[in-house]
Amino acid sequence: MSYFQQMKEKAIKLREKEEIYILALESSCDETSAAVVKNGREVKSNIIASQIETHQIYGGVVPEIASRKHVEAVNEVIRRALEEADITKDRLDAIAVTYGPGLVGALLVGVSVAKGLAFGLSVPLIGVHHIEGHISANYIQHSGLEPPFVCLIVSGGHTQIIHVSDYGRYELFGQTMDDAAGEAFDKVARVLGLGYPGGPAVERTATQGNPNAVSFPRVKLKDKPYDFSFSGLKTAVINYLHNLEQKGESYSTADVAASFQQAVIDVLVEKTINCARMLNQKRIAMAGGVAANSSLKKHMEEEAAKFDIQLYYPSPVLCTDNAAMIASAGYYRLLQGKVSPLSLNAVPYLSLTGDRE
Ligand code: KG4
Ligand code: ZN
């Protein structure tokens, strides 16, 4: 029997085990994270080493620097994750790791270390799609949440409406045609001089502003009721600022931030609710960094309540990149026998649902 076959058999046998411990690694962008999670939902540790300060002076993530920082941090992050979970390596049942999408050099650090660990411990290796991890953060936060539900994914690289019909089964209903929601936050923060990462900075500034001060566009796409486009909104913000600057007039950064944020929220809320209603789905979950935005949560909650829809979202630390969410997704893959071979590679562009068009 091949080594891979042995690991598959091991995974199947694990289903009978009462307590399954997974160590997961996440290194797709600018956070090096390791976590130990029991039975897919009980977080024993979730250590996150952020590189934000390093990248701040460049105004965004520098891929080469990100890879080097992951190499420097990964061993210590794993050591701390095991220490905090109060567990030794020999009790681990599987190793899960993000293998895409993301920065290839950054992903490779997690993937290489995970392979070494899995082989060394002779336990199954589970490659996890980063977005499946973000969705699974909801399973950690809400112990009773099970599919099916509609999920709005709003991260720095993705904006999608997905129907989660079962564990590991995803149907794509909407996606962005251009910029992701988080990307729009980051770009607008940049032109407003609010720094990186933009989302939290825009949110903070927006609390002092009037969301109705400037009327920015809410893009509707013909025949694509659940798709998004944010690049026009970003251009509208830039044009608005340039116009005033050329005339020598001043503007309120807080009003622009609040009006921009409201424009993003309005389309995210409307399309997600419409999709859930069309599917007759009474549960909506949110995932990804932008789901940490308080104003988005408030507006989505208010609108969902009107249609008797229950809203779920993870706590802020589980919204942004972390390894606990990867462990949770890995657990459900493991139960389905979806073990990865040791030839697993980092895949910078990776689709969760298959390409729609
Ligand atoms: O999910 P995530 O941590 O990484 C990716 O997979 O991309 O998301 C990061 C994105 C960034 O664009 C960041 O600006 C945005 O999430 N973000 C926010 C907030 N916190 C993070 N956007 C709006 N409001 C926030 N509070
Ligand atoms: Zn992410």
Q: For residue range 208-253, list pLDDT tens digits in order.
A: 999 999 999 999 899 999 999 999 999 999 999 999 999 999 999 9
Ion ligand 2 — residues with CB < 5 Å = 155, 321
Q: What band does 354 get if pLDDT is binned at 50, 70 and 90? A: low
State the residue for tokens 């459900």. Answer: 332
- Output the residue whose Cα is nearest ligand 1's atom 21: 289
Segment 67-80 shows an average pLDDT of 98
Co-location of 35 and 166 in the same domain: no
Which atom of ligand 1 lies nearest, measured to the CA of 320?
3
142 within domain boundaries: no
Residue 293, ligand 1, Cβ within 6 A: yes
Longest dimension (CA), the chain: 75
CATH number at residue 28: 3.30.420.40
Q: Which domain holds residue 123?
A: 3-137+319-335
Co-location of 155 and 115 in the same domain: no
The secondary structure of 261-322 as a DSSP string is HHHHHHHHHHHHHHHHHHTT--EEEEESGGGG-HHHHHHHHHHHHHTTPEEE---HHHHSS-
Co-location of 329 and 250 in the same domain: no
Co-location of 46 and 105 in the same domain: yes
13 within domain boundaries: yes
- Among candidate residues 110, 94, 82, the one with its CA nearest the CA of residue 25: 110
Q: What is the gyration radius of the CA atoms in the chain, in angstroms? A: 21
Q: What band does 194 get if pLDDT is binned at 50, 70 and 90? A: very high
Residue 267 φ/ψ, nearest 5 degrees = -75, -35
353 within domain boundaries: no
Co-location of 185 and 133 in the same domain: no
Ligand 1 centre to CA of 294 (Å) is 12
Co-location of 158 and 298 in the same domain: yes
Probe target for ligand 1 pocket from 134, 194, 290, 299, with the most ligand atoms within 8 Å of CB: 290
Residue 290, ligand 1, Cβ within 6 A: yes
Co-location of 199 and 152 in the same domain: yes
Segment 146-158 shows an average pLDDT of 97
Give the predicted TM-score (pTM) of the model. Answer: 0.97
Co-location of 121 and 218 in the same domain: no
Co-location of 25 and 117 in the same domain: yes
Co-location of 159 and 124 in the same domain: no
35 within domain boundaries: yes
* Residue pLDDT, tens place only, 259-290: 999 999 999 999 999 999 999 999 999 999 99
**How far is Cα 83 from Cα 16, in angstroms, rounded to an integer?**
27
Co-location of 38 and 96 in the same domain: yes
Total domains in the chain come to 2
